[in-house]
Amino acid sequence: MTRVYFVRHAQPDFSIQDDLLRPLTEKGIADSEKVTKFLLDKQITKIFSSPYKRAYDTIKSFAEKSNLNINIIDDFRERKIDDIWLEDFNSFAREQWNDFDYKREHGESLNEVQKRNISTLHEILEKNSDENIVIGTHGTALSTIINYYDRNFNYSCFERIKPLMPHIVYIDFEGTKAKIIKELIV
């Protein structure tokens, strides 16, 4: 059995519009210490992360205290919305959940996000069976992963977790098959 702890990043500073470089707020930094405390006794053997600063920084303290490297995986990045800042995110998100192929001109569909995340996750599972793993991730990316294994996870579920930062979900796998999906409170 392989257990993966998906750690959705802590609160980011939305005044920074650069998705890759958006840092955590002071609250986000403080909350990342709660993530560290929660994970320290979980016998984690590997850490992977989105390349986005907010995801990396949420698990950085844990990695340092555990003497583990964070393996940056580009395919775990968040969904690209477009080349321009989107003011009405809620309408856009609802449209994407209604049509997994919907995307803006320079963005990604939820299908595309799900395919790259699941493909990369399966590679990690095949190479790291029977280990406890942390993956630093994002709200939409995590939601598409959960949706892949549980089709009941829909827009209303996404809406429910949208304000939860940080947020941890673990999934127990046999091979690449999900056996248990559980949300955790930190």
From the list 14, 4, 37, the residue with the least C-alpha distance to 148 is 4
| Contact of 24 with 54, CB cutoff 8 Å | yes
- 17 lies in some domain: no
- 35 lies in some domain: no
Residue 165 contacts by C-beta under 8 Å, 6 or more apart in sequence? 8, 9, 10, 11, 12, 28, 31, 139
- 68 lies in some domain: yes
- 145 lies in some domain: yes
The H or E element containing residue 27 is helix 26-39
Q: Which phi and psi (to 5°) does residue 132 adopt? A: -105, 125
Output the pLDDT for position 185.
79
- 60 lies in some domain: yes
CATH, residue 79: 3.40.50.1240
- 27 lies in some domain: no
Range of the domain at 61: 51-164+173-186
- 1 lies in some domain: no
What confidence tens digit (pLDDT) does each residue in 152-181 have?
999 999 999 999 999 999 999 999 999 999
Q: Which phi and psi (to 5°) does residue 70 adopt? A: -95, 120
- 13 lies in some domain: no
Q: What is the mean pLDDT of each run of 10 residues along the chain (186 residues)?
A: 98 90 96 97 98 98 98 95 85 95 96 98 97 97 98 96 96 98 90
Q: Is 54 helix (H, G, I), strand (E, B) or coil?
A: helix
Residue 100 contacts by C-beta under 8 Å, 6 or more apart in sequence? 109, 110, 111, 114
Number of domains in the chain: 1
* Rounded Cα–Cα distance for residues 146 and 76 (Å): 14
Output the pLDDT for position 48.
98
Q: How far is CA 164 from the centre of its chain?
A: 12
Output the pLDDT for position 86.
79
